[in-house]
Structures are given as C-alpha cells and as structure tokens.
Structure 1
Amino acid sequence: MIEIINKQIVIDGKPELIMCGEVHYYRLARSEWQDRIDKLKDAGCNAVASYVPWLCHEPLEGEFDLDGHTRPELDLGEFIDLCEANGLYFFVRPGPFIMAEMKNEGIPFWVYEKHPEVIPHGWDGAEATTRTLDYLAPGFLAAARSWYAAVMAVVAPRLHGQGGSIIGVQLDNEIGMLSWVSNCPDLTEHVVGDFTEWLGRTYEADKLQERYPFHRCDADVRLAAIRSPEESYAAELLHDLGYYMRDRFARYVAVLREYAEEFGVRDVPFFVNIHGTGGGRGFTYPIGISQLYEAYTQAPGYLSGSDIYFGDLTVSNFQDLYLINGFMDAVHLPNQPLTSLEFECGDGNYGNNFGGRYDVSAADFKTRMCIAQGNRMINYYLMTGGSNYRMDQQLGDGNDRVAFTGERHGFAAPVSPEGELNYTYPRMQRAIKTMMAVKDKLAVMNEEHDGIAFAFIPDYYMTEYRYPKSEKMNEILKNIEANRAYGGWEIMGRGMLLAGYRFASADIQNKPLDPAATPVLALPSARYLSAAIQRKVADFVIAGGGLLLYGEVPQLDMEGKPCTILSDALGIQVEGIVQNGPHSWPSVIAEGWAAGRPEVHTHFAQRLAPGQNDVILRLYDSGFVCGVEATAGRGRAIVIATAYSGDVPLFKTALERLGAQAGLTHDNRYLGIFTTSTVNNEGERFVHILNLDGFDKELRLTDRGGQLFGGRSIRIASKDGVMLPIGMTFGEVRIVYSTAEITAVSQESLSFRLTQAEDVIALDTAREILPSADYSVEEQDGVKLVVSRKHAKVDDQLTVLFA
C-alpha cells in the first residue's frame, strides 16, 4: 500500500526515501541488465526508473512488442522483474511522449502519418518546428489509449501491492515544453475550437465580445484571429491563452490517468514532471510550474517532480535551486511532497566532445540541498548510458536509429554506454549512501524556516506564448521577465540565503496570505501585477505583515490596465523611471537607517514620491527617491525600487526591521556558504552545510543565539558538504552532536565520515563504548565525547563500537 501523507511517501505504513537511477533497458543488451543494476545498487540506490518508448514497442500500428519477441531488450516485464529480484522498487515512465533524445520524442512515426490533423500550426499558421502534437485531439487520444492498454497490461500485475515492485507511474513527459520553447502554441483547428468553448464557459457573452471583437462562431475567422491576433486584443489573448493551456494540460493528464486506471493501474501515485531549467540556471523553471500546477493539484493521487539541470552548484546559481524547490512546494496540496524525476548526474559531456566537465560536487551538492528541502524521491538521470539500435523500418533520415544522438547514448552518465564508471560516480555514490544511511530520519524531516516566505506568482511565469508582431504582448512580457527573477533572485534571494535565512515560498496568487502564518514576505515585483494580488498584499501589510519589495512598485494589472492598489496602500506614488543611457550612469546613495554604504551604480530605478514614508535610497544628482520604508495599518514595507547591488547586510537589516531574524548563522566572513536545518516531530535535527567555493572555510555556527557543536570551530573543506546530526537517537544511543557525518547504523556500531582534523562525537548512552586505536573517549557533563585520532584528510572513516 502506497500513501501520500504529511509530505511523505509511505509504503506499507513506513515513510520511505526513494533514491532512484534511470536505466534504459531498451538501450542495453539483456546480458548487460544485471551489470547495470549491480552498479546502481553499489551507488546506494533502492529504485530503478525507465522510460518506456512507444516508438520502440509499437513501430507499426498494432504490432506491439513488450515481451522481446522481435528484440530481446524490449522485454519490459522481464526487466521490471529483474529489478524486483534485486530488491529494488521500480518507477515506470510510459509517455506517450518521453523525449530522451528519441526520434519524434518517442512517438511512433505512424501516428503522425495517420493523424496529420494533430500536428499543430502556431502563430500566423506557421508549421510547428518541434514534434509536438495536439494532446486532446481525438485521433491522438485514441492511439494513446491503445498504447496505454498494451503497456499497462505489463505494468498492472507488477504494481506494489499486487505482487510487484512498481511504486509510481509518470503520465507523459515535460507536457507543454516543446510548444513553449519554440513559442509555437498548439493552434490546430481542434485546439482553437476548444479554446473558443473555454472562453464561452469563462466569460459572459457581453464581456467576451468586448474582449474579442470578431465572429467566434465562424471557424475560419476565429482560426485566423487567434493565430494572427490584432493588437486591440493581444494582451487579453496573452492572459486567456495561458489560462486555457493550464486547463488543457490538466484535462490531458486526467485523461491519461483515466486510461491507466481503466487498464488496471490504481493505488500508486501518478507523477507529472516539470520542465524549465536551462543554461545552468532556474530562471525559466517556474514556467513549467505555472503551466502544470493545475494538472497535479486537480485531485488526490498526483505528485509533481522536478527536472533539475544545473550543472555545477555554485554561488552563482545555488539560490535558483533553493527557490524552485520552494515554488513547487508553494503550489502543492498539503500532503504532496517534493520529488525530482530527472536529477542531472554525470560529467555534463553531452556532446561527447569534452565540452562539459562538471565538478564531482555537482550531484552531491544538489542532492544535499534537495533532501534538506524535503525531497522524498530523487531519480538520477541518466544513471547508465547505452546504445540506440537501428529500426527495422528505413527512415531515410541519415541513420535509421531510434534516437538522434548516434549509436552511443548517455556518454555523460556516471556509468558509460560500455558499463565503465566515470570520475563522478564515487562522489555521487558517497552522497546517495550518506542519505540512505539515515533514510528513516530524512523521510519524515522538514526544513526549519525563519518566519519569512519568498513570493511566487504563477501568472508571472505564464509567458509561454507571445505573438512576435505584438508590441503590447512584448512590452508586458519584457517587464515581467526583467523583474520576476534575475535581480529578485540574484540580489534579494541570494542575499537572504547568504545572510543565513531559511525561508519557504508562498503562492500569493492562489492561497491565503496571513501575517500569522507568514510574518514577512519577500516579493520580486514587476510593473504589472493583478488587482487581486495587489489587494491581497496590501491587506497583508495593513494586517501587520512585513513586506520586502524588490523590483518595481506595480502600476498596472496583468493586461496593462492602470492599477495602483498596492502603491496607494503604501502611500507611494510612482512618477517615472530612470535608466542607463548612452552617456548616463545613474548611481544610488543610501540614507536613513541604510546610510553609510558606498554609492552604487544602477541601470534602472523608479522615481518615487514617498509621501510620509522614510527615504532609504535616492539617486545621486537628481535626488529622486527609489527606496523607502513605508507603514500601512499595523504593518511595514521596505521598497527597493531599483536594481541594487548584492549588499547582504542591507537585506539582513531590512528583514530584521520587518521582524525576521536569521536563526542559523555562521561567522565566516567570506560567505559562499549555504546552511539550513531539518527536524522531525521528535526534535531530532540535521544541520546541512555546503561550502560552495574552492577553498576550505572555518566557521562557528549559532542557532537562535546559542552556539552549536559545543562552540567548536568547524572546517568545511573546499567544495564539500556535510549533514551533521544533533539530538538524534539510534536505539539506546543518542548523538548529542557530531562534527562527523553518519554513514552507517547498526546495533553494534555507528560509522561516520570524518570532516575535521579532530572530530568530536558527543554521545548520551548507558552503553559501553569499546576501546579503539582510532579514537579516545572522555566524559564531560554526563556526555561521552568520542574524539577521533585520525585526520579527515588522511583517513575519513571511523566506526564507534558498542559492547
């Protein structure tokens, strides 16, 4: 029995942490399956995942091979059974779309040939540049249902609870991504007709005619009007098309679930994965959340999963990963946990030309941060490489293979196509085994927060489709894109994390905003913000909340109509903007409580009339105000309406003035350190620390004013991470604290990875600690201190033995 309760994955009554690796059975000879499974198990994983490629299993309509009668490696059931025989859970990803560098993204060629009406056209009727399809077109759904009937016949008898090991099913893959990245909305005749019906359900007739002054009942007219919109309704179309696509994707997911359940797949979670990271950053990732959150929050039984492609985790991008995990959690239903369904691992050499070379810390750091933020499942993608076979059907495309990467596939994976381990495998293995050593603890822990939330506005990321000829669309989207991330993430978000703040995210669009639950809100704001959200934020401040606004004070709603609800509530007027010019380099000076800072250059600032509010930032020379501290009702807002610099103390002071104190802090002046903590209901804790820089750092940690680890200084090695226990009990042994990381637990011993020149493990236990040449034992204030005699950089393994 699999249950989703309290943000946990509970299997047969026990909360589980799932560490999974993607192995494409169809890209390996059957004789290689066991070897790759062995390497996955050696890495510490307890589950296997795989796509199931429709293209391979039904290359010709009606001619299925799911049992290997045409190619032995296509025996899906045998592969799942082998994983189960090895004691591993299985996570199945049957598409219909799978991407994975497959031809047609894994859709058989015959689907396109038989149903040409499902191939979309986009703006101005241009043909789609990707191999996307109209998800809800009757022809495509009929073919997809037939595919699900065949594949679920293999899956259903192998479900956990039915005698098998399958614990989850992913419905499709990266839904909407192809259309978004190509800016080509799926505007088939069917979609435009469906959109028209949706508009009729959404708006009253008079309002709808006002928004779209053309004959919507005429199929040809509406097709032309939507594909080539006029400027008079371009902003309305931008808004409505985004909302419609959310609804369309949710309906598509519900249909796929209906098919799966029709063919016997029930009582396991159905997953929807979220796309959007790119170029080593997360700026566009929330577009995937915005597109799909209605799909996985529409009913119980769904889980969302991230696609994490960041490369190395460094000071430049660590806040991106922290924020997108928070944004996912912000839109979740109360019981839904975080998971990651494509968690990048390996060396980044995707071009097979040594053009990518990730540091060994990459997968380790991302694993540690995601686990600290509550991820209950991570699927390492791609764990093993393989090969792309030639299809029996001649495709005439230059190689006739099932994929477009050549013969070898997954050359960046920790396990190469030939089964060799690359240089990233040992560090990834260390991270996985560290998590699994204490999986029972981590499976029920949640991150601790400091009374502050980072605002998430799904509609700020509903920018997947823009008509290239529309100035109005582009004006709105340009401003939103400039303010929704970038400075808000890189300056405010990064500054908050470097100052030691552990913060949640809040969906301020769809959920209540209450100062009792969220005392302080950090809001990256654009010039455009809906009236409903402006009203909600204004009421939040008036009711006693603290607001840190970075970016622009909103002056318009999301369709470009004047709306100043928030600025009016704060007693601020916006009088204009100042920008860089060919020979103009505006600078900002600080005053009031922010005074004493150096003057800094800015490329943008709003000119504010502060009213009765206190000025904290203004432009040199002109004296225009661009930063204020405002009061409204029982609350307070600090507004930074300029592109300011990464001044960590400024953000720390601002948040403290708003009432938020950083609970977990350190004293290393070089920053470049990420810290957070997790706790369970028994008060057991882990302190998570990442040294993101390439040099060792010495620090002392303070928690709510009290020193941790007995006040000892801790040295965090270059590009290393640690997860240190506090108040953690294993049987009759309680770890009061430890500067070493737990690696194994048994009745007779506790094993650790040493991190210091002299590690200290403080134990509260009546059990006798057996003597060892590796450590000494002394008592202090009723606690037994186990002091390592080994330097971590010489030998980092230590086992404490008990009688």
Structure 2
Amino acid sequence: MKRVECRDGKFVIDGRERFLFSAEMHYFRVPAGDWFDRLEKIRRAGFDTLSFYVPWFWHETKEGETDFEGRTSPERDLTGFTRLAMEYGFDLIIKPGPYIMSELKNEGLPDWLYMKHPDGIALTSEGKPHPTRVFSYLHPGFLDCVRKWYASIAKAIRESDAIMIQLDNEVGMLHWVTSTGDYSPVALAHFREYLTARAPELLAELEAWSYGKQFGFPLNVEYHRFMRQYFREYLETLSRFMDEECIDLPKIINIHGFDTLEYAKRGKNYPIGVSQLKAAADIPRAVLSGDYYIGNIVHENFTDISISNSIMTAVENPAQPLFSAEFQSGFQHDRPKLMPSSIDLSSLLCIAGGMNAINYYLFVGGRNPEGSGLMGSAHDWQAPIGASGELRGSYNKIKELISTVRPSEKELLNAKPAFDTWFGFISSYYAGEFFAQDGYPFARTKAHRDMATFDGLLRGLFLLNYTAGAVDLEAVEEIDPTKRPILWVFSGPFMPAGVQKKLVRYMESGGRLVLFPALPEREEHGRECAIIRDRLNVEKGKERDWSMARIFGLEINAFYTESYRELSGLSPFGFDEEGSACAFYGSVGQGEIVMLGCGIELEREYKLEVLRRLCEHLGIERNVEIKGEFIDAWLRKGEGVDFLFLNNYDDYDKTITVKTGDLEFEATVKGRAGLIVRLDGSFRERKKFEARKAVF
C-alpha cells in the first residue's frame, strides 16, 4: 500500500500531488491470457491508476473456501492480476464490496449468504421481503460474514500498490429506486434508539406501529433522517473492519443518482443519493465520489453536471478533491449510443468545475462469468477497449485529454474554480423517497424542486455564463456574506427552522438572498414555522399552479405563483394574473431579500430575460465574459497560472471574443469540442500585444 493523503482538494500520494486518471477494468470478465494486452493499452492511453471490483461471489463460492490464486479458474487469480498491474506501474483502487452492483446477480453477493441468513433480508412496511432482497445493513449475521470476507481479501490489498479502497457501492440505491425502506426488526431497533436520542416525543407512535400501518408525517420525516444515519453507521462499520485489517487508505463512498434516458440523461435525482450518503463524509478518511452518467452531453443537460459538481463540493470534506469513481466512458446498454465527443466534453466540464480525479467506467469491456450476469453473458459496455480488445473512438479522445492535462498537472491541481455566485443546497428537499409507501404525496415538492432548479433558475445561471458554487445550508453554522455575497435558494412551502434562521441572519449581516418560488411557512415536520415571512412582515395570498405572471414587465407562463400583501418597505417587480404582487425585493438589515414567488421552468428560453434582469439588479460580475454565440466558459484560478475552459456543445464551429480580467482575445472552438487555455504571463503579454496591434 502507498501513503495517501487528501490535502487542499488534491490526492497526495507518497508525498507527490497527483491528478488521478484511472481506468476501470474487471479482471474477472477478461480472459487471463488477455490481461497483458488490456493493461498495455491502458498504459498507452496515459493512465496512472487502475480500478476494479473484487466480487465476493466469484472468490468465495462456498463459505470459508476462497480462491485468490486462480486454483479453480485463471480469472480468479487476483494475486497474479494485481502483481501484473503493479509491474505496469499502476496504482490501484480496489473495491471489495460487499455489494458491487455492476449488473451482477445478487449485486455480487454469494448465494450461500442468503441461505445462511434468510432473516437478514430487509422488510417492507408491509412486513414482506424487500423487493431487491437487500440485506438489512446492520444485521449481525450479515456483518459477521462481511468482516470475514474483508479479512480474507486484506492480504491482497496490503501487498499491493493500493491507494484507495471502496466501501460497498451505491449504498441506499436499492431502497431509493424501489421507494422502499427497511423495516426489519434490526432496522426498527436502531430506529428506536435514534428516536430516543433525537425525537423521543415520537417513540409512542413507533411502539404502537405494526406492519401494514402508516407512519404519521413527522415520524416519516424522522424515518428518512434515520435511514441516512443507518447508511452512515453501516459504512462506518465497514470502515472499522478495514482498520482492523491494518488497511490505512482513503475509503471511497460512492453516490448514485443520474437517470437513464434514451439519447441524453439527467442529474435531477442525483441530490437524492447525495442526501442519503453525505453524512458519511465525516467518517475518518472517507472520500465522497459520484457516479457520473450523463449519456450524450448536449445543450439540454450539461448544466446538470455543473450543478451536481457544485453540490458535491459543498457536502464533501474540503480536504478531498472533487472525484468520480464511476465516470462514464461507456454504458451498460447500447442506447444511447455514446459519442466520443460526449465523453471528452463531460470530462472537460468536470475538470473545469474542479474535479481532480477521474475513474473512467467501464474502460475495458468483457464477458460475465457463466450464470452471473443480470443481462446475460455480454458486458461490453461500449467501453473504449471493447470486449475483444478493439480500440474505439472514445479511447483516442481520452488519451488526447490525458496528454493535454499532464504537462500542466501541478499548476492545474493548485488552481480552483472561480465562482460568480452561489446557491443553497437543502438536502431535506431530497429526503422523500419513502413517503409514497405511507400515502403522502411528494410529487408536488419533487416537481417544483426539479423545474425550479435543474430546469429553472440554477440552469439559467449557467446558460447566461455565470458559474455557481453551492453551500450546504443544513451543515454550515453560518453563511458568510463576505465570501458568498449573493445566495440563490430554492424553497418549498416547508423549510427546516434552522435553515430559515440562518438565512435571516445571513441577510441581516449583509447577504443578498434570492428565494424562489415559495415563501416557507412550515418547518420540516409540517408544523407552522414562518421565520423568514415574519421577518419580512408580509402576508401570503393566493397560490396557483400553471398560470401567467408578469415579471419585470415580461409575460411568462409559470408552473406556480403565490401572491403577497402588506409589502411595506418592499418593492414589487412581478404580478400574477389578478395584478397582485408575486415578486418583490427590499432591504433586510444590512442585506436584501429578492423574493420570486413564481416558478420558472426554462422550457422556453425567452424566460432567461427575467434571470438576466435579476442578475443585473444584483450586480453579479462574471469571471469570464463571452461575446458571440453561447460557449460554456469556466475559469480555474491559481497562483500565477490560470486555466480557461471553453466548451462547445453544438455541432458547428464558433468564433467568440473572450474577456477575463484585463485580457481579451478571440478564440475559435470547434463543434462538439472544448479548449483548455493556459493563462500565464507569456500568454497575457502576447495577447495584450496582439490586441494593441489590432487597435492601432
């Protein structure tokens, strides 16, 4: 094992700061005789790191009988594979589960485990086995088997050039996709302990509950919070098991959430996974990472990556880098057919947003061991290196990207994204995946949060070439207006009381808050709580779904409006169909409130004019100004060297004028391509001279 630290947003390995380019290769899916060929091709592409799962079912077919040396199959020779990978100079990211997903039956668990501990399967609120047969994570019998599995794999990890290990995979995903929690006796016992410490007033309801009944709304809210702590405690337990085996490495917590569509995918639900697992960020040596599967990146979905990157940076340990342990270089289905340009552009966008480590998943295709695949024998994944070893177009795109980054690796690692403005992340708005099973409608909150953020104002900021960082409003003690002078916050009719108080203090101390589209009147449990409304001294009037509004004189269709009365000292700038104020701004202490009680979805981009006017009112300045057709522009600022990223998501070339600081120059960005421009002293002097010649 190597000595690995997380320091100031970077991985530091054996004392050297590293930008990690890692390739995912599943040795158990590639004939052992082809391992040399695949590793050589990975090395030629410029990678320094190799990542792989270690499937429990594959190496321990019978309890207590493990094979890591290839006695029963050459593809089980994990020891030989890791030794070969080290001979090629690769550092290793090892992912021993227990759950590995990866389109395998039982998500990679051995059959004997289910037969040994049938009582360990999670139960639904009806008392039936969970539809995915997921184990209750803290079931003692299950954990005892996991501990023994970790002990059996530990020697291979200790003797390798491992730099990270991954604890499980996508914890909570099986619960989210089925909208079904865990109501097993083990989980309920932990829930009682949680309530005793956090909400004892709800204990009586839980004690009276039985399978088939519903939780009341406040109890259900606490159940969502509890499950997030349950996931954290499980991951902390796995971490302790690794510590017991003297494996002192960063431990990856991998987060799920991008949605499958045909041509392009969306990240609207990614914050659900973040909300489920962000509590694990404070586990010692934990490294949060994300599954980034955007499909083909296009004008309609590129902002989902930008928003997701900002949220991840807000919730993770600030010492760790922004990192994706599963960064799409292929996909499990053959649709959408992934364009190499999409992989290139999504990589450039994430690096622009601060990502300093990427594991391309899946980089090498293969075939599933007999009878183990959920989708049959093939597991080609549209990988840059196909199952037969052929090189695809995405291989050369990634190789070119790595060769572009390497010469400036050190300077890039020490350059951070320059954000123009900030938005607030409230994870409670994404903690509702189990409401449906208790009969509570969550559809309206879900629809409003998605339309107002991923399809609304936050998306619009990026379309107007503003870059936006994020603040985890439920985690920070205070929001410093000198560091984040303007804050955009999506709000539903409820908002945690603590967040409401923070936002009031933020405004009073000089912060400028943009709140949309609802003024909260309740706290997270549904009880009346209108701290912000009371501080503004306004009254709410009518609420409407899907109506017209006039904002800054521009008539728009809105998915939601609410009107206000008693606007003493506040200035309206928007009106609903009846002419009542639905948007206003005004002073609050030393700061300002901008209340947009109007739900704006950018299904028609003429509505960007509303956002443009808001940004002008707030006086937000861009770090990068683009004149000409839209190009997605980002700046990473360092000490003496900055990096400008220009991405063109359209299929034709664009010539633009770029202005950043005192530097202005013309650039041509080819269709479906991006540029990285290194801005150091020589570049600035040359461009200033050329501009002076052009003027005279």
Q: Give TM-score scaled by structure 1 length.
A: 0.82
> Which is bigger in relative contact order (C-alpha 8 A, separation at least 6)?
2
Q: Does 1:357 align with 2:337?
A: yes
User: Alignment RMSD, CA only?
Assistant: 2.1
What letter is aligned with 2:239?
Answer: R
What's the offset of the Cα at 1:443?
2.2
Contact kept in structure 2, 1:345 and 1:362, CA below 8 Å? no
Distance in 1 separating the partners of 2:580 and 2:136: 52
* Aligned-pair CA distance for 1:298: 3.1
Distance in 1 between residues matched to 2:132 and 2:566, nearest whole Å: 50
Residues 657 and 667, structure 2, Cα contact 8 Å, conserved in 1: yes
- Show the 5 A alignment for 1:566-605: 566-580=532-546, 586-590=547-551, 594-595=552-553, 597=554, 599-605=555-561
| Equivalent of residue 63 in structure 2, options 61, 64, 85 | 61
Tell me the residue number matched to 2:251.
270
Query: SS state of the match for residue 125, structure 1?
Result: coil
Describe the superposition over 1:423-471 as per-residue Cα deviations: whole angstroms up to 9, x where unpaired: 3322232223222332222222211122x2111111111123124342x
In the alignment, the residues of structure 2 paired with residue 762 and residue 665 of structure 1 have an alpha-carbon distance, to the nearest angstrom, of: 16
- Counterparts of 1:14-25 in structure 2, within 5 Å, are 14-25=16-27
Structure 1 position 499, deviation (Å): 1.9
Structure-2 separation of matches of 1:72 and 1:93: 20
| One-letter identity of the residue aligned with 1:461 | Y
Indicate which of 502, 507, 510 corresponds to 2:472. 507
2: distance between equivalents of 1:686 and 1:351? 35
Q: Distance between the aligned counterparts of 1:388 and 1:678, measured in 2?
A: 42
Q: Using the alignment, how far apart are the partners of 2:537 and 2:649 within structure 1?
A: 41
Indicate the residue corresponding to 1:286 in structure 2: 271
Q: Is 1:714 aligned to residue 695 of structure 2?
A: no
Residues 418 and 623, structure 2, Cα contact 8 Å, conserved in 1? no
**1:648 maps to amino acid:** L
Instruction: Specify the alignment match of 2:523 in structure 1.
Output: 557
2:513 is the alignment partner of 1:547:
yes
Letter in 2 for 1:454: F
Contact 1:483 1:524 survives alignment (8 Å): no
Find the aligned partners of 1:509 and 1:137 in 2 and give their Cα distance.
Answer: 30
Residue 497 (structure 1) aligned to one of 449, 462, 470: 462
Q: Which whole-Å deviations, capped at 9, do the CAs of 1:222-252 have from their partners, x for residues lacking one?
A: 4x1xx4444xx52112211122112111111
* Distance apart, 1:36 and its partner CA: 0.9
Deviation at residue 21 of structure 1 after TM alignment: 0.7
Distance 2:692 2:541 in 1: 66
Q: Is the 8 A contact 1:105 1:131 kept in 2?
A: no
Paired residue for 1:162? Answer: none
Alignment of structure 1 residues 217-228 onto 2, 5 Å: 222=209, 224=210, 227-228=211-212
Alignment of 1:417-566 (within 5 A): 417-450=387-420, 452-470=421-439, 473-474=440-441, 477-511=442-476, 512-566=478-532
The residue identity in structure 1 corresponding to 2:399 is Q
Q: How many percent identity over aligned positions?
A: 28
2:135 to 119, 133, 136: 133
3-state SS, counterpart of residue 216 of structure 2: helix
Is 1:314 the counterpart of 2:283? The answer is no
Residue in structure 1 matching 2:94, options 85, 92, 95: 92
Q: Distance in 2 between matches of 1:782 and 1:684?
A: 22
Q: Deviations over 1:131-164 (max 9, x none)?
A: 3111110100011011001111111122xxxxxx
Secondary structure of 2:456's counterpart equals helix
The one of 169, 172, 177 equivalent to 2:168 is: 172
The match for 1:697 is: 654
1:256-281: CA deviation from partner (whole Å, max 9, x where unpaired)? 11111212211x21111011111311
Question: Is 1:619 matched with 2:579?
Answer: no
How many angstroms apart in 2 are the aligned matches of 1:663 and 1:31? 52
The equivalences for 1:101-500 within 5 A come to: 101-158=103-160, 165-204=161-200, 207-209=201-203, 212-213=204-205, 216=207, 222=209, 224=210, 227-230=211-214, 233-266=215-248, 268-279=249-260, 280-299=265-284, 301-346=285-330, 348=331, 350-352=332-334, 355-390=335-370, 401-450=371-420, 452-470=421-439, 473-474=440-441, 477-500=442-465
Cα distance change on mapping 1:366 and 1:351 into 2, 3 Å? closer
| Counterpart secondary structure, 2:393 | coil
Is contact 1:46-1:89 (8 Å) kept? yes
How far apart, CA to CA, are the structure 2 residues paired with 1:579 and 1:184? 29
SS at match of 2:428: helix
Deviation at 1:195, TM superposition (A): 1.0
Tell me, in whole angstroms, the C-alpha distance in 1 between the residues paired with 2:510 and 2:684: 39
Alignment of 1:658-737 (within 5 A): 658-668=618-628, 670-671=629-630, 673-680=631-638, 682-704=639-661, 706-708=662-664, 711=665, 713-727=666-680, 734-736=682-684
| 1:773 aligned residue | none
- Aligned pair count reads 682
Contact 1:575 1:608 in 2 (8 A): yes
Q: What letter matches 1:328 in structure 2?
A: M
Distance, in Å, in 2 between the alignment partners of 1:514 and 1:371 is 27
The alpha carbon displacement at 1:95 in A equals 0.2
More helix by share: 2
Q: Which amino acid aligns with 2:503?
A: V
Equivalent residues in 2 for 1:41-52 (5 A)?
Answer: 41-52=43-54
Cα deviation for residue 610 of structure 1 reads 5.5
2:562 to 587, 606, 611: 606
Structure 2 unaligned segments of length 5 or more: list them. Answer: none
SS of match in other structure, 2:230: helix
**For residues 254 and 571 of structure 1, do their structure 2 counterparts lie closer, same or farther at Cα, with a shift above 3 Å needed?**
same
Is the CA contact 1:610–1:625 (under 8 Å) kept in the aligned structure 2? no
TM-score (norm 2): 0.94
Give the whole-Å Cα distance in 2 for the aligned partners of 1:330 and 1:142.
Answer: 35
Q: Secondary structure at the match of 2:205?
A: coil
- Distance in 1, Cα, partners of 2:235 & 2:559: 44
Alpha-carbon separation, structure 1, partners of 2:181 and 2:691: 68
CA shift, 1:334, in A, is: 2.7
In 2, Cα distance between equivalents of 1:146 and 1:446: 42
Distance across 2 between alignment mates of 1:175 and 1:37: 30
Q: Which amino acid is the alignment partner of residue 370 of structure 1?
A: C
Change beyond 3 A, Cα 1:627–1:781 = closer
Show the 5 A alignment for 1:720-759.
Answer: 720-727=673-680, 734-736=682-684
Q: What is the identity, as a one-letter code, of the residue corresponding to 1:494? A: R
> Greater CA radius of gyration, 1 or 2?
1
Q: Distance in 1 between matches of 2:667 and 2:691?
A: 21
What's the secondary structure of 1:124's corresponding residue? coil
Residue matched to 1:771: none
| Alpha-carbon separation, structure 2, partners of 1:368 and 1:2 | 25
